[in-house]
Structure 1
Amino acid sequence: MKSNVGRNDRILRGLAGLAMLTCSVMAPMSLAVRVAAFGAVGAYLLVTAIAGTCLGYRLMGRSTCPAMPNR
């Protein structure tokens, strides 16, 4: 799969994913709400940061990767 998430975007996604997963553990809400609202989003952000590809970007035809030089 072609990468469409740039370096800075990956760092921010990783940090945001960790923050969301922390909220899913510490938020004073019911378990179902924490898992659905914070856990799922946090896990998605971490997976996209690690994999370097985002389904939403792919569907929109976007990319935050630097432009590749012409060969």
Structure 2
Amino acid sequence: MKRNVGKMERFFRALGGLMLVTGAAMAPLSLTIRLAVFGALGVYLLFSALAGSCLGYALMGRSTCPVEPGR
């Protein structure tokens, strides 16, 4: 998949993903809710930050990457 997430947004996605995964481990809720809500969203944010691409952006045809030189 083509990269469509800029560097600054990747940083904030990784930070948010780490916070959500930490919340999934520490929140005083049932395990099902922690894994389904916090865990799944946190893992997706971490994956999109590491891969540099977001499925939602791809479906909408959006990108936060700067324009490449020569285009």
Aligned to 2:66: 66
> Equivalences for 1:1-71 in 2 at 5 Å?
1-71=1-71
Code of the residue aligned with 2:66 in structure 1: it is P
Runs of 4+ in structure 1 deviating by more than 3 angstroms, as ranges, are: none
TM-score (structure 1 length as normaliser) = 0.95
TM-score (structure 2 length as normaliser) = 0.95
DSSP 3-state at the match of 1:68? coil
Deviations 1:1-25 (A, max 9, x none): 2100100010000000000000000
Aligned CA-pair RMSD: 0.9
Q: Work out the percentage of aligned pairs sharing the same amino acid.
A: 59
Unmatched 5+ stretches in structure 2: none
Distance (whole Å) between structure 2 residues aligned to residue 60 and residue 23 of structure 1: 29
